[in-house]
Structure 1
Amino acid sequence: MSDLSAFPIAGRWPAQHPERLQLYSFPTPNGVKVSIALEETGLPYEAHTVAIGKDETWTPEFLALNPNGKIPAIIDPDGPGGKPMALFESGAILVYLAEKTGQLIPADPAARYETIQWVFFQMGHIGPMFGQLGFFHKFAGKEIEDKRPLERYVNEASRLLGVMETRLEDRAWIMGDAYTIADISMMGWVRSLVDFYEAGDLVGYDRLSRVPEWLDRCLARPAVERGLAIPPRG
């Protein structure tokens, strides 16, 4: 039996299956990256709903796992050397799961780094820019009279979608014929930009062809359909 008692978060969200990888998350664009990757790989795991609307990421137990107070985070009871390991930041977790299972990332070293490069592209650009657009378009930011912030994020989101559109020329997936963690990192954000933030018209989504087709291919995957609803919102 795996012992997770060294992790305070296991006291607030007790594990029913401590021998499995523990996921602490919520179904946001960042959170579903990890649940989708876990569903794709088939790695046994247990999901715990961390209610971000109730500020549960700012509890001492969660902060002990991720001092930045953001989902998702994991504990792998069978980490490197067979020792339990905690990890936060969705991009880092994607790379970890891919390398742990030997799935969703090329074995060739050059292609591996190219894949990680596109994950970093999502982490550094797509996520922050799309998220800010959502804030200024749909949430509290829309009350700000100065529309320059919204215009900035609309323009940047449009540009980033154009980068993706160009990348997907003659490609089914970001890395070509192989579906990888690069695709997983981006799909939730593109989906939310159009559906949840309702910003498709702002960024000219309908003028694109390859990105919408790519997103449809992503969403048609059974593991993606499952992962988008994990963990339940509660």
Structure 2
Amino acid sequence: MPPKKTTSKAEMENEMQDIRKSLNHLTEELFKVTHQLTKLMGLFDEVKQLRDLIKEKDQTINELEMRIDQLEQYTRMEDVIITGLSVKPRSYAKAAAVGRNVSVVADIEDVQSLERQVVTFLMGKDIHLDANNIAVCHTLPRKDTKQPAIILSFVNRKYKIDLLRQGRKLKGTNVYLNEHLTKRNAEIAREARMLRRNDKIKATWTRNCKIFIQLKGSTPEQARVILIRH
């Protein structure tokens, strides 16, 4: 049996010194990692603060956009949009022939002619309308159709409501009466009509430029009416 190998004191001290060096190196590396983690945590906090700030700003922007849309919609509360009605400008050709000096008069004549055409058409469909209650009548060109939409603005909201109630008399004419919605509300109304076409809801309509839908269901709770704002 061979004799056991003995470790000298010098060898033990060398091993201990190597261990100390390794521990010191590990301590330094651990300190570097801890320092980097501290930096990362600080960056995470900054990112979180930025996200919260962006969220608050987005909410403020949304609220301001909603407020602007509400104000814009309020200015259209007395308006009715007529689509599908063919009208002819009466004085444009005459104005072009005579020259620029009568352009203002021609514009006035066009407006008066347009108003008369609209009133004559509606009254021909047994729709009661007093032209004296019309404040403004003008066209609103659209890119998706050759026939421009026509805006009737009344002196009082009750005349608009009365006209809209008679809109069912236009069934089968391809002429439609609708409230003058803002772009945002028009998009909401369009989405609601898509839901109706896809049989996802029972009905949809607008009242005072607000969009409503009625859900499908056999009970009053299931078939409730909801005001849609978004």
TM range (shorter): under 0.3
Answer with 1 or 2: which has the greater Rg: 2
TM-score normalised to structure 2 length: 0.27
Higher relative contact order (CA 8 A, sep 6+): 1
TM-score normalised to structure 1 length: 0.26
